Structure 1
Amino acid sequence: MAIEATFTATDGEFPLAAVFSEFPAAEIELDRVVPTDEFLIPYFWVRDIEIENISMENVAHPGIHDIRVVDTVDGAAFLRIDWDLAYESVLTAIIETNVTLISALGSQTQWSFEFRAESQQDLADFQSYCRDHDIPLELTKLHALSPLASGQEYDLTDAQREAMTVAYTLGYFESPREATRQDVANELGISPQAVGSRLQRGTRRLIASTLMRLK
């Protein structure tokens, strides 16, 4: 039976946690394409940062050969990472076991990884690998494979969902607007630029997962 599991990590073990040494307020999200082969280079989005003249030159970690900004879109940076898989991390655990990484979302305080496994044994093998190689992950959610629950089908991150909900509640989407981007930012405790990024990407995802699926 296929199962899905969510693990969290809080001690900065994942190599990309090094980004937070330079950008402590950033949020990192795995791109939709999830390569797990050592010859492939995965991509990540970094949000909630000032992207003008952004550089990753000072970001260093033994699990990263190279990291650079490919592009900036809607206030977010698109990164390309070349991993050093000699460093034991979640990535090596994925490569060495039969699990698939569905999503990864990180902040300075916590990383959250969602995996899919074809059987309980596959997931147990993954957990054993992490334990044997001192990869600190905590299992926080486990359930059988099922259709997406209401709300999840829209493919929004928690941050995007929160920003869009607050903006809607405050009247940001009314015409004329009853609230400004600064009002939403004050309510969330983030910058107006970060609000704009979350609303733009959230709107794009809503359209992609609703209107575009109807075509």
Structure 2
Amino acid sequence: MATVAEFTLAADEFPLGTVFANLPDVTVQLERVIPDPNGVIPYFWVRGTDSDSIVEQFSKHPGVRDIQLVDSADDEYLMRCMWISEYDSVLDALIAPEVVLLSAIGTATEWTFELRGETRKAIAEFREYCHDHDVPVTLTELHALRPLDAQHGLTDTQREALILAYECGYFESPRETTLAEIAEELGISQQALGSRLRRGNRRLVEQALIESHS
């Protein structure tokens, strides 16, 4: 049965965490990781600084061969970099076909990332890979996905966030609450909450409007 797991990792233990050394107020959100013959290519959003500072900070890491600005929106920048294969890291584990990255958000304190595995064994193998390569991940949540007709394909955390946002009037016009207020009640960052809401809404649309008509 498909299983969802949430892991945390100290900021300086994650490859993209090097940016926090001199830019402690930024937030990094991993978008996706693509395999490459020479390593892996992560795409990630950075908030809270300018693109030149991002390039400067990441370029200092020996595992980064090249980093480029892909897109920008307001004060958010989508970056692309080449992470070379000589530096084994959690990024390598994230491209395994048995696991799917649902979200990954980093701050100067820690990274929190959520994965879906086709089985519990896939999650266990991911964790084992990290430990074998001295990546000290901590498992903070693990649960099996319920059938689609029972939970609409949502993870427990996505469902919790959507229900609370609805009950607090976040989807009303005008809004009766803010992301900050909901995030505080859940005990998570605004970025983590925003990611859960986006992915939860996307899954609901996929099931209600896409899968039902396929």
- Normalised by the size of structure 2, how large is the TM-score? 0.66
Query: For the residues of structure 1 that align with 2:159 and 2:74, how far apart are their CA atoms?
Result: 23
Structure 1 pair 150–137 and aligned structure 2 pair: CA distance change class (3 A): closer
Task: Give per-residue Cα distances to partners, 1:19-49, cap 9 Å, x unaligned.
Answer: 1123210111122xx23423463311111x1
Task: Give per-residue Cα distances to partners, 1:146-183, cap 9 Å, x unaligned.
Answer: 32168836999xxxx8xxx8xx7xxxx57xxxxxxxxx
Unaligned runs of 5+ in 1: 175-183, 188-197
User: What's the counterpart of residue 38 of structure 1?
Assistant: 36
Alignment of 1:25-174 (within 5 A): 25-31=25-31, 34-39=32-37, 41-47=41-47, 49-51=48-50, 54-59=53-58, 60-95=60-95, 98-146=98-146, 147-148=153-154, 152=158, 173=174
Unaligned runs of 5+ in 2: 147-152, 182-190
Q: How many residues align?
A: 183
Query: For the residues of structure 2 that align with 1:20 and 1:86, how far apart are their CA atoms?
Result: 22
Are the counterparts in 2 of residues 7 and 114 from structure 1 also a CA contact under 8 Å?
A: yes
Query: For the residues of structure 2 that align with 1:127 and 1:52, how far apart are their CA atoms?
Result: 33
Q: Partner amino acid for 1:105?
A: I
Query: For the residues of structure 1 that align with 2:97 and 2:78, how far apart are their CA atoms?
Result: 28
Are the counterparts in 2 of residues 97 and 122 from structure 1 also a CA contact under 8 Å?
A: no
Alignment of 1:170-209 (within 5 A): 173=174, 205=198, 209=202
Task: Give per-residue Cα distances to partners, 1:48-103, cap 9 Å, x unaligned.
Answer: x1437545124322332222323321221111111112212111223467322221
Query: For the residues of structure 2 that align with 1:91 and 1:109, how far apart are their CA atoms?
Result: 19
Query: For the residues of structure 1 that align with 2:135 and 2:68, how far apart are their CA atoms?
Result: 25
Deviation at 1:141, TM superposition (A): 0.3
- Matched residue of 1:102: which SS? strand
- Normalised by the size of structure 1, how large is the TM-score? 0.66
Structure 1 pair 97–126 and aligned structure 2 pair: CA distance change class (3 A): farther
Q: Partner amino acid for 2:158?
A: Q
Are the counterparts in 2 of residues 94 and 101 from structure 1 also a CA contact under 8 Å?
A: yes
- Report % sequence identity: 40
Structure 1 pair 62–134 and aligned structure 2 pair: CA distance change class (3 A): same
Q: Provide the alpha-carbon RMSD of the alignment.
A: 4.0
- Matched residue of 1:81: which SS? strand
